[in-house]
Chains A and B, each alone.
Chain A
Amino acid sequence: MKIKVAADPKSVLEGSLEIANYFGYLSGVHHVQVDVERDANLGNCVGGILVDINGEKYKVRDKKEAAMLFVQGVILRKKVKDLAVKKVLPPEESRITPEVLIVKRNFGKYRDIDGYIFLGGYEALKKALKMKPEEIVEEVKNSGLRGRGGAGFPTGLKWESALKEKASEKFVVCNADEGEPGTFKDRMIIEEDPHALIEGIAISAYTVGANKGYIYIRGEYSDVAENLKRAMEEAYDRGFLGEDILGSGFDFELVLRFGGGSYIAGEETALLESIEGRAARSRFKPPYPTQKGLFGKPTVVNNVETLVKVPWIILNGAEEYRKYGTESSPGTKLFSICGKANKKVVVELPLGVTLREIVYAYGEGIYGEGELAMVQTGGKAGTFVSKEKLDVKLDFDAIKEGVSLGSGAITLIDDKSRFLDIALNVIEFFEHESCGKCVPCREGTFLVRKIISKMVEEGKVDCDALQEIERIVLIMKDSSLCGLGQSVHNPIISLIRMLERGEVA
């Protein structure tokens, strides 16, 4: 038995891949042997997804209908008149943004440094060492590269301000603490392309004038860190790290540091505290790390993904990089799709891609019985986005529409999840991860958790309490010391709004 599901771009964006996956799921549930084929040429129909079972064309609007069709049409082998389609339209072209491989350029292509060099590795470092630091800064500034850790600060400006600082010693730090739940892009990079990271760090160090750098990797990544360690040893052996790199007279020592597992250690100032040997608690800003960072010296902290892009930009130029993405947010971004998605993957897409494309074309919709209820973008501190907003273009400006880009985590949530469960899950996380330094976040997260726990115990939502929660998180945003407290309102308030609109129960 063969089921064909329309897979032309228009159908895909309407969720046809989700339906295709669902047929696969149903065949497993019912122990029925079927081939599910995604056919881009099958055609199209109005107001649903075109499905072909043994030459019969059906229209499926949601999973309920798909299940009915499966039982009637596949198991009972009947014709299902209710769902039959009379008029099949030709396949329709609707653009799905293709993946652009900048960060993922070398994924799966090499095993050791020889392979990396064969692929053109360390050429960017060679080129950079012949350039003036100011030229590199200019190139990175022109590329419009913005930090990929979540805050989106222009990398070129950060480097420039560190370059301008006069100090006896400067540091570069690679933030590989990827603690944002649902984000696993940096892990992929470290697994697949550690040398590009090392190259990027070396270039950043040369640019700002640092002779020592740290990679701060989260403790939970000890397995992939082995890969990174090996790559660093190789780079030292070949003279891409260490003294007098490639005869340029530039010395650079790179050290690997493990985090202790706290979420806040991913915040740059807390990360610096942690490297210094203290508990990871944020420092107040200003002074910014580029002025007074690690051990009081100017320090540039960059995310893994940001740094991996640098060699590519050096080699291909800022113009080339600007061809992707939008005016204010050029380039590509890694998205890690997770949650109830059928495909939990890391995809690299130009910024400005819509959430719908990510959810339906790359994540292939919700796994199993449930329907998509909402998406949380940007990790735990990001906003919950309702189905209505799937067409928002994802870039650093999307927050104006209430969609945060953050670390690029795309968490799919189905309609089986209840409001209180999601809210409790979110706030428990923040209560646990609040470092405890400042009052509004330390006690505010605790208090909000207490209020939500009480609602969970009582099993019902209390509107007055929700108002109180909103007040607490908004003051938390206004008066907290660091990004953690300042962003708790993102998930909480967007979730409350969805409850008010009846999009979550």
Chain B
Amino acid sequence: MRVTINGREYEFGEPMTVLDAARKVGIYIPTLCYHPRITQSGSCRMCLVEVEGQRLLQTSCTTYIRDGMKIWTHSERVKAAVKHNLELLRMIHPDDCQTCEANGRCELQDLLQRFGVERTMDYYGNSVKILDESSPAIRRDLGKCIKCFRCVKACEEIQDLSVYAMVKRGHYEYPATAFDAPVYSTVCVGCGQCSFVCPVGAITEKPDWRKVLELLENEDKVVIVQTAPATRVAIAEEFGAEPGTISTGKMVAALRKLGFDYVFDTNFGADLTIVEEGNEFVRRVNKGGPFPMFTSCCPAWINYAEKVFPWVTKHLSSARSPHMMLGAVIKTYFAEKIGKNPKDIMVVSIMPCTAKKDEISRDQLIIDDWKPVDYVLTTRELGKLIRLKGIPFMSLPEEDYDHPLGVSTGAAAIFGVTGGVMEAALRTAYEVITGETLPKVEFDEVRGLDGVRDATIKIGDKEVKIAVVHGLKNTEMLLKKMEKGEAFYHFVEVMACPGGCIGGGGQPKSLDPDVIKKRAGAIYEIDEMMKIRKSHENPAIKQLYKEFLKEPLGELSEKLLHTHYKDRSKEYANLWKYYEEGKVS
């Protein structure tokens, strides 16, 4: 197809939108509601282009190229329309940039700057000024909402939860929860996909970074940080690097510069999880059930199971998530080593996830009277901390994690990607069950980014049916199939976010359509670079069991590393009460 853009002819092979075509040849077209993770709504009218022969301006994100098409992306007519539409948005958007969580990472801010949009109209403010801080995971500040429909679509299309819907009309519309209930009391699982796609600061993670900043300035506590597998392949994006840039060493160095006393690796916790969860699975295989067993390291998935499919809670692995395990080990095993009480130690987790913020508030996870993890920061928040402290991230030297809880394997690294937990567990389970060495550590059946992947794996003389699913929409389909008896599995890995943790709601915002693929590639690269690629071979794990835990699923393990779940399906059932209480604005 020959298409003329701004007077120059280009040749395109396959059908694509005008926006994609223009970007392919390096022509900038502004966007605001466009996001590659969701279907387009065509609502922001920023990507307008002039197409010869068309009476009106066309949105390039929804218009497909045709042979012989003549497109103008920067005509005066286009620029006038885009600038005017930005003026209209500025009319309702507050000038709170200085204290806004999205400052510097705000698509509206960028566009206003790009087009030099002064405040030419009176400021009328947004029609709603709801500030919803009910959830430990996300914060909604609807006064900043520009009504781009991204959160509505993300929740509907990725997670099929539809926590938000646009209510009212015209200037007065806003993305509301059912009956304007606080988001925490709805079916929301805290995955944070809405905060990931929000182009402005209307939905963000619940910010905890200020508290961590204060904590670091507080001398009398030992502050220990741990970093999740998926953060190391994404954090560099906050500083302009290509998605999938591995920056483990720089991140560790930056965390030390921030003032953390010890930098540990959640990957250690992941290895520990595999040993515990793998042994739990082996125990179930030997006892003959109950099947299926579901993984339990994704807190959004746990929330989903408890809220929407309560029968699943009986099948969830009792293993805590990796950072919880590591937090517990830090405050016991490691505390002993450095001669401290659990209460003198503060553990901060750097996570790609907003639901982890919700997870640490769970009562079931409190051990004695202390919490294994005190604060969770998202990758984005860590980026902000590093920026605010003026640390030159990209030019930092590479540093290593502290010992002994910074030692990890390739199996732990792949926790960050969908299928990774399954693969890591299979690597261990195979060797535990058969007692033989695994001939090939890669399980290609569970890799890839298809919504649901299933396979039958032969372990010794047993055939194990497994499934890997990511995104709650896919999960819902799979669970419904299982309910109907159309599918049976022994072991199911569920990750709530697309692509697993690498596509988590707390990861750096990105408009790169291939961001998940690139980050996943980096994760597998880390795995390949590792000398040890099976969790049970991690020397630090072996040492931990020898010195402290004694055996997997043992008494101390049960106390520190396992948990239980409850049916919360009734909790959000009665949203009507918010209407009756007159909380509806």
Q: Residues on A close to B: CB < 8 A?
A: 262, 279, 281, 284, 286, 431-447, 450, 471-472, 475, 477-481, 486
Contact = CB atoms under 8 A, between A and B. Distances in A.
7 tightest A-B contacts by CB? A436-B173, A446-B171, A434-B170, A284-B42, A443-B88, A479-B81, A475-B84
Interface-central residue, B41, B170, B171, by most chain A CB under 10 Å = B170
Given A431-B171, A479-B81, A481-B42, A443 B89 contact: yes
28 contacts: A284-B40, A284-B41, A284-B42, A284-B62, A286-B62, A286-B63, A431-B170, A431-B171, A433-B170, A434-B171, A435-B170, A436-B169, A438-B42, A438-B43, A438-B44, A439-B43, A439-B88, A440-B84, A440-B85, A442-B170, A443-B91, A443-B92, A443-B171, A450-B122, A450-B124, A475-B85, A478-B56, A479-B84
Nearest to B50: A478
A464 to B, nearest CB: 13
Give the interface residue-count category, chain B: 35 or more
Contact of B81 (A436, A441, A447, A475): A475
A442 B40 CA distance: 18
Contacts of B112: none
Nearest to A430: B170
A108 B487 CA distance: 61
A433 B170 CA distance: 7
A479 B57 contact: yes
A475 B80 CA distance: 8
Contacts, number: 98
Contact of B168 (A436, A477, A480): A436
Given A438-B45, A439-B146, A481-B59, 5 more contacts: A284-B41, A434-B170, A436-B147, A436-B169, A439-B44
Contacts of B80: 475
Contacts of B122: 450
A439 B85 contact: yes
Interface string B473-514: 000000000000000000000000000000000000000000
Contacts of B89: 439, 443
Contacts of A279: 165-167
Contacts of B168: 436
A440 B45 contact: yes
B77 A478 contact: yes
Contact of B41 (A286, A437, A478): A437
A81 B168 CA distance: 64
Interface in B148-206: 149, 165-173
A284 B33 CA distance: 13
B412 interface: no
Contacts of B48: 479
A444 B57 contact: no
Contacts of B43: 437-439, 481
Contacts of B338: none
B121 interface: yes
A477 B57 CA distance: 9
Contacts of A481: 42-43, 45, 59
Interface string B36-80: 000011111100100000001101001110000000000001001
A285 B424 CA distance: 47
A477 B149 contact: no
Contacts of A478: 56-57, 77, 81
A445 B121 contact: no
Given A284-B62, A443-B91, A450-B122, A432 B170 contact: yes
Given A447-B121, A481-B42, A481-B45, A433 B169 contact: yes
Contact of A445 (B45, B59, B85, B170): B170
Given A440-B84, A477-B56, A481-B43, A281 B171 contact: no
Given A436-B166, A436-B171, A442-B173, A480 B91 contact: no
B169 A435 contact: yes
Interface-central residue, A262, A471, A475, A486, by most chain B CB under 10 Å = A475
A207 B81 CA distance: 42
Contacts of B64: 286
Contacts of A446: 124, 170-171
Contacts of A438: 42-45
A437 B40 CA distance: 12
Given A443-B88, A444-B88, A281 B56 contact: no
A405 B59 CA distance: 28
A471 B121 CA distance: 13
A443 B124 CA distance: 10
A442 B149 CA distance: 13
A366 to B, nearest CB: 33
A188 B45 CA distance: 39
Contacts of A441: 170
A479 B170 contact: no
A157 B166 CA distance: 35
Nearest to B40: A284
A442 B44 CA distance: 10
